Amino acid sequence: VTAYWCELAWLGGERAERGVSVEVEGERIAAVEPGVASPPAGAERLDGLTLPGLANAHSHAFQRALRGRAQGRGSFWTWRERMYELSERLDPDRLHALGRAVYGEMAMAGITTVGEFHYLHHGPGGTPYDDPNETGRALIRAASEAGIRITLLDACYLRGGFASELEPAQRRFADGDAEAWAERAGALDQGPGHRVGAAIHSVRAVDPGSAAAVAEWAAARSRPLHAHVSEQPSENEECVAAVGRTPTGVLAGAGALGQDFTAVHATHPSPDDIGLLGDSGSSVCLCPTTERDLGDGIGPASALAAAGSPLCLGSDSHAVVDLLEEARALELDERLARLERGVRTPAELLRAATDAGHRALGWPEAGRIEAGALADLVTIGLDGVRTAGADGEEAAAAAVFAASAADVRSVVVGGRPVVRDGRHLSLDVAGELGAAVAGAWA
Ligand SMILES: [Zn+2]
C-alpha cells in the first residue's frame, strides 16, 4: 500500500476538498479520506490541487510534427495536403519516435490515457508491412514507454471521397475492404495498459455498408467506436448530395450510434443529428484548439449535452497539448458564440476532461478519485505565476480557467509515478520531440 496526501483534491463536486488522503494498492485506489489536516506518516505529499488523470480522447500522434509548420495560412484542405506530405515520410520507426515523444508531452500535461485514432497503417503505396499491425503496435509501445495508457482506435479507411478513388497519399491508410480491416484489427491484442477500439475514419472515407460492418465488429466485442463527424460544412453538403442524409444520419443508419460511440468534432450537426446523438447516448469529443486552428467553427456543445450526449475532449492535431485549455475552450468559445456567460461549471468542464473521456475510450474504471478506481493522480501547482493566489476550495475553477499544462507538477498513472516536480521520470521529452520532429521531416 502506498499513501498520498493531497493538499487539495477535486473529488467530482463543485469545490475542491482540503487534506485528502489517498491510499493506493497496486494500480487501484483503496481508500479516499478528505479532511485529513496533515500528511499521515509515510504518505507522499502532493502540494497543490490534485485531479483525476486527464483523458485525451482524440489524438493523431504524428500530426505533432505539423506544429508551427502548417498553422500560418491556408484552409482545412491545404492543411490536409501538408498532413499527407508528412504522413508519406513516416515509417514505423519515425512514427514510434514521434508517438513516444508526444505521449511524453501528454504525460507532462497530466494526460494519463490517450485515444489514438490510427489510420497510418501500411507502407508506401499501401503495401502492408510484414506485420500488418506494425504501426499500431509501434504506437502502443510508445505509450507504454511514455508511461500512459492507450486505446488504439484502429480506423477503417477505404476511399478518397463519396465518389472518388484513394489519392496516392491515402493508400497507406486503406485495407481494401471492411473484411480486410476487421481481420487486421482483430489481430491486435489488448494488455494491461492498452485497449483496442474501432474507428470509422469518416463517412467520406467509408461507405455506409462498410461502416455498418465496422460498427458490428465493435458491438460484438463491446469496444469503443469513434468517427470524425461533421467537422466541416462541406462534408455535410457532399454527404447529403451523395446519399441524401447527413453524416450522423448515415452513421445512425449503419447502427454505429450508442453508448460506446463517440462522434469526434460534431461541429456542424443539424438539429436532427443532435437528437440522434443525444437519444442514443453517444458521446461527442470536441477538439477546440484544433477546431480553432483549422477554422472549423464552434460546435453546439450545450445543445449536444442537453440532448443527452456526454462531452469529452481531444487535442487531435496537437496544435497544443493542453487538456485544461481544451476544457476552458468548451466554455469560453461558447460564451463568444452565444453572448452569454456561465454556460457550465468548472466541475462539468473537469468531468469532460477526466471521467467522460475515459468512458469514451473504454476505461470506465478511470477518471475519478474514488475507492476502486485506477490510481491516476495529476497535481497542478498552485504556487506558479498563473495559479498563485487561488483560493482553497475554489482552486478547481482557477485550474480550469487559468492553469496550463506547464503547471502540472506530478503525475501518477496506475499507482506508478511518471512525472515528478514537472519532470518526466524516464524520458527527456523536449529532446525527444525535437529529434522526432526533425527526423520526420529529414
Ligand atoms: Zn482527428
Is the pLDDT confidence value at 170 over 80?
yes
| Percentage above 90 pLDDT, the chain | 95
pTM of the prediction? Answer: 0.98
What is the Å distance from ligand 1's center to 28 Cα? Answer: 31
- pLDDT computed for residue 391 by the predictor: 83
Annotated catalytic residue 177: no
CA angle 376, 377, 379 (to 5 degrees): 155
Average pLDDT of the residues in 179-199: 97
∠ Cα 195 309 29 (to 5°): 45
Q: Annotated catalytic residue: which of 122, 265, 318, 424?
A: 265
pLDDT for 276 equals: 98
Q: Where are the alpha helices (DSSP H) in 222-318?
A: 233-243, 247-253, 271-279, 288-293, 301-307
Grid coordinates representing 247?
453524416
Instruction: Quote the mean pLDDT of the chain.
Output: 96
Residue 1 has pLDDT above 80, yes or no: no
317 CA distance to ligand 1 centroid (A)?
7
- 310, amino acid identity: P
Mean pLDDT of 338-343: 89
pLDDT tens for each residue of 389-429: 998 889 999 999 999 999 999 999 999 999 999 999 999 99
Q: What is the predicted pLDDT for the residue at 154?
A: 98
424 is catalytic: no
The 3-state secondary structure of 8-57, one letter per residue: EECCCCCCCEEEEEEEEECCEEEEEECCCCCCCCCCEEEEEEEEECEEEE
> What is the 60 CA–ligand 1 centroid distance (Å)?
6
Write down the pLDDT at residue 77.
87
State the distance from the centre of ligand 1 to the C-alpha of 290, rounded, in angstroms. 9
Q: With 0-12 CB in 10 A as exposed, 13-18 as middle and 19+ as buried, what is 218?
A: buried
What confidence category does residue 72 fall into, taking pLDDT thresholds of 50, 70 and 90? confident
* CB-CB contact of 114 with 143 (8 Å): yes
Q: What is the mean pLDDT of residues 249-270?
A: 98
The model's pLDDT over 190-205, given as tens digits with 9 standing for 90+, comes to 999 999 999 999 999 9
Of 183, 342, 200, the C-alpha closest to 261 is 200
Q: Compute, in angstroms, the gap from residue 389 CA to the centroid of ligand 1.
A: 37
The answer to whether the beta carbons of residues 142 and 61 sit under 8 Å apart is: yes
pLDDT at residue 73, as a whole number = 82
Between the CA of 285 and the centroid of ligand 1 the distance, in Å, is 10
Distance from residue 199's CA to the centre of ligand 1 (Å): 11
**Type of residue numbered 7:** E
Which of the following is catalytic: 316, 322, 333, 355?
Answer: 316
pLDDT value of position 393: 82
Residue 129, C-beta contacts closer than 8 angstroms, at least 6 positions apart: 92, 122, 123, 135
